[in-house]
Structure 1
């Protein structure tokens, strides 16, 4: 998905494409790859759930897990 606007966004490249640690610049390729990665991360949660009280900290931990936070993704 391309973004536009007058504000310089550090997360958007010069072509208006959302930057990612994988260096993918094609929206369809990025969408497919992200879907596969999130699916694998969801399966990991079955065997090793992120415990918590479903408060803000817990939801943030789930998001970090699903978005590969702290993982080396080839960057």
Structure 2
């Protein structure tokens, strides 16, 4: 048998952040579905820290209908 790579243990915080990413990506796709993405003042972001200083946001130039959880930016 070959070497077995160590499996990373996912912390509760990481699992929570991943679920927030999935939910926000779904919200972007839902906004596109209902045509809420073409207005001038469209914006979706999600605070992931209690103080609101760390948040998830979509990458620039990515259409709302194509945003994936893994593409969301974690900004501080």
- Report the TM-score range of the alignment, normalised by the length of the smaller protein: 0.3 to 0.5
Larger radius of gyration between Structure 1 and Structure 2: 2
Query: Whose helix fraction is larger, Structure 1's or Structure 2's?
Result: 1
If asked which structure has higher relative contact order (CA below 8 Å, sep 6+), I would say: 2
Which structure has the highest strand share of the two? 2
- Scaled by the length of structure 1, the TM-score of the pair is 0.38
